[in-house]
Amino acid sequence: MSLFTRLSEQPKDRIIALMQAFHDDPRPHKVDLGVGVYRDAQGQTPVMRAVKAAERRLWEEQATKGYTDLAGDAGFRDVMAGLVLGKARDAHRMATLATVGGTGAIRIALELLRSAAPQAKVWLSDPTWPNHPPIVRQAGLAQASYRYFDEAAGAVDFDAMMNDLGRVGAGDMVLLHGCCHNPTGANLTLPQWQEVAGLLNERGALPLIDIAYQGFGDGLDADAAPTRLIAQNCPEVLIAASCSKNFGVYRDRAGVLLALAGDAPTAARTQGNLTALNRLAYSFPPDHGARLVTMVLDDPALRSDWQDELEGMRRRMLSLREQLATELRARTGSDRFGFLAQHRGMFSCLGATHDQIDRLREHHGIYILGDGRMNIAGLRADTIPMIASAIAESGI
């Protein structure tokens, strides 16, 4: 009997399937609000200026493509630790690993958990990024979910969240979105983060922060503030950071996993384990995107240009949020979509049924994920009136 025929059919990834359906749709007026990639006013996902300049310089100057470190280039890990943790960075208790994008960092974090505590459960927000549950499953770990979002209010249901996290077991992992929650766009306040840190410590749980959108919400430092708070208040912390969105290097797969341990010897042992996990998964992590990020962050002129461009992207998403909320207020005569202007990052959830989502796609060529998640960066000033009319008509 053939081995391959024993394989079961895999469910399609919802985000990637929608991306393909959009690609195959011949209608010229179609609008992609599905996959989370940034788009500019022309609908393009540009290579950022500073990244392009670094790439040119790299082409001129790079003399070898020999292997780097198994843990990835030390310079990259260092600048990323600085970007994410700022003053909360404590080299003494830290282990760092370059990974295959942010997803690779999450996967390695789960492998690390499995090495230390295979019985541990991983707690995910409900809802969460659709790829989180299958990655946890594939890593062979049990999972549970904690309530997060009050759909009717379009806001975080903090009481429900704390209630559910009150049941987390000692040694369990709690996955938290560092900023710009995917898919809801609704985020905790800093005092709420403080309460979460207290509860996790009380329960003896390990936080894994997934920070994939630093700079897309309230700014680079404001977006990192919750991660820094957790880093300073919890004895052990894992942080999976992605460069895909804020450096626009999606296909280059640059990301980092930061681990904060209780003391230096434990950090050193953790480093050894992380490095071994890279070796076991794919040997050396990719370097091209990581090197570009390092060059941008290390060069004051490139760094400042990158920050300006990123800030422009962030402001554009904020103004699209406001424009859509205003148009929806005008068309529905109600403020029930007001939350769109309050949310932060690339996504918000419309709270629509599957039928309504299907109708938006079939009748208007508007592609939104099945749970009502909309990529705000896919909006354009000139498409918002049509999109607002379609949403208002759909009865959402």
* Binding positions for ligand LMR, rule: CB under 6 A: 15, 35-36, 129, 131, 182
Q: Determine how many CB atoms are found less than 10 A away from the CB of residue 1.
A: 5
If the CB atoms of residues 38 and 146 are measured against ligand LMR, the closer one turns out to be: 38
If the CB atoms of residues 217 and 260 are measured against ligand LMR, the closer one turns out to be: 217
If the CB atoms of residues 68 and 182 are measured against ligand LMR, the closer one turns out to be: 182
Quote the strand ranges of 44-172, DSSP E: 94-100, 121-126, 142-147, 149-150, 155-156
129 has catalytic annotation: yes
Contact yes or no for 365/349 (Cβ under 8 A) = no
306 has catalytic annotation: no
Report which residue's Cβ sits closest to ligand LMR: 36
Quote the strand ranges of the chain, DSSP E: 31-32, 94-100, 121-126, 142-147, 149-150, 155-156, 173-177, 206-211, 237-242, 254-260, 347-349, 366-367, 373-375
- In terms of DSSP bridges, do strands 173-177 and 121-126 run parallel, antiparallel, or are they unpaired? parallel
147 Cβ contact partners less than 8 Å away, ≥ 6 residues apart: 126, 157, 160, 161, 163, 164
The CA distance from 338 to 335, in Å, is: 5
CB 30, min distance to ligand LMR, A: 17
Burial 245-273 (b: 16+ CB within 10 A, else e): bbbbbbebbbbbbbbbbeeeebbeebbeb
- The one catalytic residue in 98, 193, 245, 267 is 245
87 has catalytic annotation: no
The CA distance from 391 to 366, in Å, is: 10
Query: What are the helix and strand counts (H, E) for the chain?
Result: 14, 13
CB 167, min distance to ligand LMR, A: 27
CB 103, min distance to ligand LMR, A: 7
CB 105, min distance to ligand LMR, A: 13
The CA distance from 373 to 370, in Å, is: 7
The CA distance from 134 to 143, in Å, is: 10
- The one catalytic residue in 105, 212, 267, 341 is 212
CB 325, min distance to ligand LMR, A: 22
If the CB atoms of residues 36 and 255 are measured against ligand LMR, the closer one turns out to be: 36
- The one catalytic residue in 98, 105, 129, 193 is 129
Contact yes or no for 142/122 (Cβ under 8 A) = yes
CB 26, min distance to ligand LMR, A: 23
CB 247, min distance to ligand LMR, A: 14
If the CB atoms of residues 36 and 289 are measured against ligand LMR, the closer one turns out to be: 36
The CA distance from 177 to 183, in Å, is: 10
65 has catalytic annotation: no
At what angle are helices 264-282 and 101-116 packed, to 10 degrees? 120
If the CB atoms of residues 36 and 154 are measured against ligand LMR, the closer one turns out to be: 36
If the CB atoms of residues 100 and 200 are measured against ligand LMR, the closer one turns out to be: 100
DSSP state, 93?
G
CA dihedral 37, 256, 136, 199 (to 10 degrees): -100
Residues serving a catalytic function are 129, 210, 212, 245
